[in-house]
């Protein structure tokens, strides 16, 4: 079923553990191996950095009840990462037991094909360094708080994890077909900024929202943005902004939908999408219904 056997995964972890290079400096790509992997060196995090993590964690955690999806909240609690920057190796053990995934430490953004290769092999790249105090409210590039707090909880869910692995494989296939932009939009509007329905109203599962101070409230309650049912071709044809709250959110019913809707071969989709310009992020097409924001 999986391309990586448990033995291969365990061996990969061993290789990492035996590496001598380390460091948690921002953007220290010189230390990285061919997979852009570094060692997370816990000794290099200062007490002030752990304290900053705790403040970030506490602010976000308070906002989650009634706003993040249940799966996220349950698994975040199980991670036990409230007290300081977590050690990835410890989380990897629990994660491997749950879904066969592991975390790998990276110096920051890695090239697309490297990123997709990790996902296809059930390895989630987590940035090692933490933002600075002046970036407390907003940071453009992913840091350890965004990557760990935002992404790791859902990796404990088997359906979500299976989707992300399939996404990685699909993206590797899409690159030579010129489908990268489309796959990046899909990732953006689901994994980073996705909403999900629940019996009590809309909930958030996107890591970009869940690690943001302001967008949790905005995405669920503001009357301004569109909230549309997820349609893969629609999403792939919609551009996005990286420096402002989203103008459209896409809503799924459950993680099974995410898995099934993204399972088919996208080759014919890319052919159609290439014939037209991407739509602006705030587009509302004739006949499209935007879902109402949550009450209260």
Query: Rule CB under 6 A: which residues touch ligand HBI?
Result: 106, 109-110, 112, 115, 125, 127, 142, 184, 187
CB nearer to Fe ion: pick between 125 and 237: 125
Interaction partner, residue 109 (Fe ion, ligand HBI, none; CB < 5-8 Å by kind): ligand HBI
The least CB distance from residue 192 to Fe ion, in Å, is 5
Q: Which is nearer to Fe ion, 41 or 141 (CB)?
A: 141
CB of 211 to Fe ion, least distance (A): 8
Among 296, 97, 92, 96, residue whose Cα is nearest residue 200:
296
Binding mask 150-189 for Fe ion (x = CB under 5 A): ----------------------------------------
Q: Which residues of 55-64 are buried (b: 16+ CB within 10 A; e: fewer)?
A: ebbeebeebb
37: left (phi over 0), alpha (psi -120 to 50) or beta: beta
b/e per residue 266-285 (b: at least 16 CB within 10 A): beebbeebeeeeeeebebee
The residue at minimum Cβ distance from Fe ion is 207
Which partner in ligand HBI, Fe ion, none is near 110 (CB below 5 to 8 A by kind)? Answer: ligand HBI
> What's the closest the beta carbon of residue 232 comes to Fe ion, in angstroms?
20
Q: How far is the CB of 109 from ligand HBI (least distance, A)?
A: 4
125 binds, among ligand HBI, Fe ion, none (CB under 5 to 8 A by kind): ligand HBI
Which of ligand HBI, Fe ion, none has residue 106 at its interface (CB below 5 to 8 Å by kind)?
Answer: ligand HBI
Q: How many residues lie near Fe ion (CB under 5 A)?
A: 1
Site residues for Fe ion, 207-246, by CB under 5 A, read: 207
**57 or 124, CB closer to ligand HBI?**
124
Burial 147-184 (b: 16+ CB within 10 A, else e): bbbbbbbbbbbebbbbbbbbbbebbbbbeeeebbbbbe
> Which one of ligand HBI, Fe ion, none interacts with residue 124, CB within 5 to 8 A by kind?
none
Q: Identify which of residues 64 and 109 has a Cβ nearer to ligand HBI in the complex.
A: 109
User: Which residues are at the interface with Fe ion (CB under 5 A)?
Assistant: 207
């Amino acid at each position: 079923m999986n391309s990586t056997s448990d033995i291969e995964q365990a061996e990969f972890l061993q290789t990492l553990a035996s590496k001598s290079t380390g460091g948690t400096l921002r953007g220290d790509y010189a230390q990285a191996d061919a997979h852009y992997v570094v060692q997370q060196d816990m000794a290099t995090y200062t007490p002030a950095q752990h304290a900053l993590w705790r403040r970030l964690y506490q602010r976000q955690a308070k906002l989650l009840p009634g706003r993040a999806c249940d799966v996220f909240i349950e698994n975040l609690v199980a991670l036990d990462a409230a007290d300081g920057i977590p050690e990835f190796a410890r989380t990897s053990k629990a994660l491997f037991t749950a879904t066969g995934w592991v975390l790998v430490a990276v110096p920051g953004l890695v090239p697309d094909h490297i990123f997709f290769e990790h996902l296809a092999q059930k390895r989630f790249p987590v940035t090692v360094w933490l933002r600075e105090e002046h970036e407390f409210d907003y940071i453009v590039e992913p840091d350890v708080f965004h990557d760990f707090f935002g992404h790791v909880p859902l990796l404990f869910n088997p359906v979500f994890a299976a989707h992300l692995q399939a996404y990685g494989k699909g993206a590797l296939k899409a690159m030579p077909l010129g489908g990268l932009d489309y796959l990046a939009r899909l990732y953006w509007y689901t994994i980073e900024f996705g909403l999900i329905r629940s019996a009590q109203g809309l909930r958030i599962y996107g890591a970009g929202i869940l690690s943001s101070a302001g967008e949790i409230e905005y995405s669920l309650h503001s009357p301004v943005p569109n909230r549309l049912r997820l349609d893969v071709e629609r999403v792939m044809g919609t551009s996005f902004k990286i420096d402002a709250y989203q103008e459209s959110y896409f809503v799924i019913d459950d993680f099974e939908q995410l898995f099934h809707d993204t399972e088919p071969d996208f080759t014919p989709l890319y052919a159609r999408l290439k014939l037209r310009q991407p739509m602006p992020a705030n587009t509302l097409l004739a006949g499209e219904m935007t879902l109402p924001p949550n009450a209260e």
